[in-house]
Structure 1
Amino acid sequence: MTAFIVHPLDPQAAVAAAARFEQNDPEVRLVEVTAPVGFPCRVTLGWAKPGEKVLLFKHNPFDAASPYAEQGPVFARRSADASVLAANETPAYIADVPLIVVRGYDDTTSIVHADVAPGRDCATAIRRAFENDAVEYVHVRAAAYGCFQFRVDRV
């Protein structure tokens, strides 16, 4: 069984988005959380609480140019410490997501594995992706809106 580690969004991405918000960048919004589920902070890897204000901004989770390099909306608290998870641990909030998409990418940033699973089965879906030796890393997304949740690497 391949061990894996989940990586949250770098807190500096939220800091940069907050600065862009202060400069009235139309690609960054400050939104009020209206429900206990549905606004996952990508830095803390947990649900933001109703009444809390979080940043909404577009994010490209890829390190290299690629035809697969999607960018999309993410929520993040303005200033927060990144969540640190143990090996083979997935964020608790992901179990509340009805369906997730798990995509495995190779060293050319091409998709070589794709799977859809209930959020509660996230760890199993990640392990399945890493059964393919060509998979270098995995992205987990919410199936309904397609939003990037987090990156996963082999340990």
Structure 2
Amino acid sequence: MTEKRYLALETEIARHYQSGGADANGQVPERKVSEGGSMPCRHCLQNIAAGEEYLVFAHRPFPAAQPYAEIGPIFLHAGACSRYEAFSELPAMFRDWETIMLRGYGADDRIVYGTGTVVDVSEIAATADDILRHPDVRYVHARSARNNCYQCRIEPVG
């Protein structure tokens, strides 16, 4: 198995949104109170507990706008949380999920066609390895299989 890391939203970006910075659509993040359940914070990669405040906003997990740079809604704790740092371990938030979508992207941050697939969460590591072996793939997005929402980035170490 390839050594890989699961990368959460960078702290600098999280703090931008938590301090009221504009999202990818130029809007201030909406503030809500969690009812619990599967509501993953993209910075700590933990579910936001019932009663906790969170933000919902439009995020583009790519360095620049271009035709393949999808913008979509994501959640973030409203207050500061620690960034997920167990990089080589599958984030615990996925353990309660049934399926997930994985998709490969090239060095140009564009989808590498033929790499997208929906798998059982128990197959994330092995399937990410398979996708990362493709000569044109530099990283993989883990996305919700139901709503296509961005969860985290998976990339090889080294």
- TM-score of the two chains, using structure 1 as the length reference: 0.88
The number of residues matched between the two structures is 151
* Alpha-carbon offset, residue 102 of structure 1: 0.5
Asked whether the 8 Å contact 2:132–2:155 carries over to 1, the reply is: no
* Alpha-carbon offset, residue 64 of structure 1: 3.3
Q: Which amino acid aligns with 1:127?
A: D
Tell me the residue number matched to 1:116. 118
Distance 1:26 1:60, change over 3 A: closer
What secondary structure does 2:17 align onto?
A: helix
- Paired-residue identity, %: 30
List, as ranges, runs of 4+ consecutive aligned residues in structure 1 with deviation greater than 6 Å. Answer: none
Could you say which structure has the higher strand fraction? 1
Alpha-carbon distance in 2 for matches of 1:72, 1:143: 14
1:145 aligned residue (144, 147, 150): 147
Q: Which amino acid aligns with 1:61?
A: P
Q: Which amino acid aligns with 1:140?
A: A
Structure 2, unmatched stretches of 5+, are none
What are the within-5 Å matches in structure 2 for residues 94-113 of structure 1?
Answer: 94-112=94-112, 113=115
Tell me the residue number matched to 1:32. 33
Alpha-carbon distance in 2 for matches of 1:119, 1:4: 16
Alpha-carbon distance in 2 for matches of 1:26, 1:86: 31
What secondary structure does 2:127 align onto?
A: helix
Alpha-carbon distance in 1 for matches of 2:32, 2:127: 31
* Alpha-carbon offset, residue 86 of structure 1: 3.9
Alpha-carbon distance in 1 for matches of 2:13, 2:38: 20
Q: Which amino acid aligns with 1:150?
A: C
1:43 aligns to 2:10 (yes or no): no
| Aligned-residue CA RMSD (Å) | 1.9
Q: Which amino acid aligns with 2:127?
A: A
* Alpha-carbon offset, residue 95 of structure 1: 2.2
* Alpha-carbon offset, residue 119 of structure 1: 2.4
Structure 1, unmatched stretches of 5+, are none
Deviations 1:93-140 (A, max 9, x none): 112222211110111222122111122322122112112121101111
What are the within-5 Å matches in structure 2 for residues 85-96 of structure 1?
Answer: 85-87=86-88, 89-96=89-96
Q: Which amino acid aligns with 1:124?
A: A
- TM-score of the two chains, using structure 2 as the length reference: 0.86
Tell me the residue number matched to 1:136. 138
